[in-house]
Structure 1
Amino acid sequence: MKAWSWDRYGPPDVLTLKDMDEPRIAPDEVLVRVRAASVNPYDWRHVGADPKLVRLSIGLRRPKPGLVPGADLAGVVARVGGEVTGLSPGDEVFGEVELGSFAETVAVPENRLARKPARLSFEEAASVSMAAHTALQGLRDMGGIAAGQRILVNGASGGIGTFAVQLAKAFGAEVTGVCSTRNVDLVRSLGADDVVDYTREDFTEREGRYDLLMDIVGDRSLARLRRPLAPRGTLVIVGGIASARGGLLGPAAQVLRGSLAAPFVRQRIVTVQWKPNSADLRFLAELMEKEQVKPVIDRTYPFAELPDALRYIEPGHARGKVAITF
C-alpha cells in the first residue's frame, strides 16, 4: 500500500510517500480501504512534535519507525477480525484511529467506526469524527447543554466550531458564534442566532450573558473568558489553535490552567479530551441523515498533496474541515 510516513520531526515537508506493508488486524479490528481522510491540527502537531509532549507517545528523538500519521477516515471494510460482530466486508464506514489514516489501508478498532450515512460523500464523512466528537462531548458530556440555554462558541467557523454551532442548535440552545468578518455569513448559515465579528467587537466585554461558553481558539485568558459567563455558567475549554508553538505543552497549557483554577471559582470550568466511540458516531450519523448537522468542507486535496493540506490548516484559518481524497 501507499502511505505517508516521517523519520524526523519538522514541517509537513518531512513527510514521504512510501510503499509499506498492509497492517495486520487484531481480533477486534477491521481493515478499511480508505476512500477519504481529513486533516486536523492534531496531525501537524504529531508531524512536528509540537508541543514536545507529543514525543512521549511516538518517539523522543524521532518518530518510531513505520508510523503513519492521520486520524479521521472514511472507506470500505476489506476484512474483519474474529471478534468483530457489527461490520462486514463491503460496509461503508467512517471513524477515527489514533494514527494511520494517511494510507491506502488502515486497521481500525470496531468500536471507533460506524456505518457511513448514505447521504454523505466519503469526503464529508471523513471530516466528521475528531471535530464532531470534540464538539459533541464538550457541549453535552462536559458542558451539560440544555434547551433554552444561551451558548457562545469562540472559533465558530473552524472544524470543531462549525459542528459545535449546529449541535448546540440541535439541542435547542440559543447560539452565538465568534468568527472573523469573512466567516460571518457561513456561521449564520449554520443556524447561529447571533454572530460576533471579533475584528469589530470583543465578546469578552459582554458580561454575564451566557450559560455556556466553548472556547476553541485559546486566545484569551481564563479571567477574560469568564466575564461573559453567567454567575453559574460553564466554560468549556477545548485547548486552542492559537496556543504557543514550540513549547512543552501547547494547547494542553490552557487545559491545565483551567483544571487548576476550577476548584477556586464559582463558575464551572471543564476541559475536553475527546473519546472516539461508535455510539457517538451513530448519534452524529442520525443527525446528519436528518440534515440537522452537516460537515463544512473548505478545500479538498488529493492524497499525493497531503503536505499541502497540512500547510493550509496550520495557521488556523480554515473554514470548517479540509478533506483528502484517495
Structure 2
Amino acid sequence: MYKLVNILLLLFYFGLMPAQHTTPLWKKNAIPNFQKSKGKETIPPRDIIFIKNIQQPGIEAFLPSKQSANGMAVLICPGGGYSGVSYDWEGTDVAKWLNSKGIAAFVLKYRMPQAESVLTSYKAPIQDAQRAIRYIRYHAQEFNLDKNKIGVIGFSAGGHLASTLGTHYKKAYYNAKDDIDKEKIRPDFMMLIYPVISMKKGITHYGSRKNLLGETPSEELITAFSNELQVTENTPPTFILHAGDDPAVPIENSIKMYQALVKNKVKTTMHIYPTGGHGFGLGISRKDAPDWANLATTWLNTLNNHLLESK
C-alpha cells in the first residue's frame, strides 16, 4: 500500500510538470510530399527516446532567459540513420546545453524518407529542415533572436541533413505556403558531429544512404546528396567533430567535407579524436568519448563576435 501511494504521488507530481510543446511545421493538410497512410508514430522501448515513423513534423523550442540570451539560435537535427530521431540523446539534451550558453535551441522532428506517407523519399527531411529554419527566422523577434545568427547542428544522419541545409540553400524543396516561406533558407553556421556527408560507396553510411535514396539510387542523386561536392565559397562557417575509430560512419566523411570547405575558403574548424566511436552525443556518456562542449562553446563565442563585427 505504501509503495502504491508513492507511485500515485509521483504520477501526480510529474503530471503537474509543464510539458514541452512541439509546434507543427505545417498545417495538417499542407504537408508537402505527403499522402495519407495507416502509418503511426512510435517510440520503441529503448534507453533513449527514439521516435520512428513521424507523421507530423515539428520543432520544440528551448529558450534561455532574456537576461542570458545572446541572440543566437541553433536548429538541432538529431541522428538515427534516417530511420528515426534520437530525440533526447541528440536533441533535447543538446538544447539544454545550448541554453546554458545563452543560445536558443529548436529540436527538429523530421519525417523519415521511407515512411509510407512520404511520396519522394529524399525530399522529406530537407523539406522539414528548410521549413524549420524559415519558421525560426520568421518568429525571431518573438523568440528574442537575431535572424542573422541562426545556425544548425546535426549528429550522424542528422549531420547529413544539417549539411544538406547548408549546401542546398539555393533550392527550396517545396512550394511556398505562406509568409514564413519568404525567409531565407541558408543557415548562418553549421556544426556537424560525427556526420554522414557523402552518399558515395566506400565512404557513406550505407543504412543512411539506403533509407534516404533507396536501394539503387541514380548517380545523379548520389552526387547531389554527397554534400562534400556541393560546397561553395558561400557555404556557412562550419565546426566538424569526429572520432577516428568511428565504426559506423567512416571519418572520411568529415575529412572530405573539411577539404572541400578549405578549398572554397570557408572558415572551418575540425577536431578529430582518436577514440570515441559513434553516437556519443555530448561526449559525457563514456570515458573514451570526446568531451567537446567547451571547444564548441569557444567556437560559438568567436563566431558570435565575428557575426557582430560583420553587421
How high is the TM-score relative to the length of structure 1?
A: 0.27
More strand by proportion, 1 or 2? 1
How high is the TM-score relative to the length of structure 2?
A: 0.28
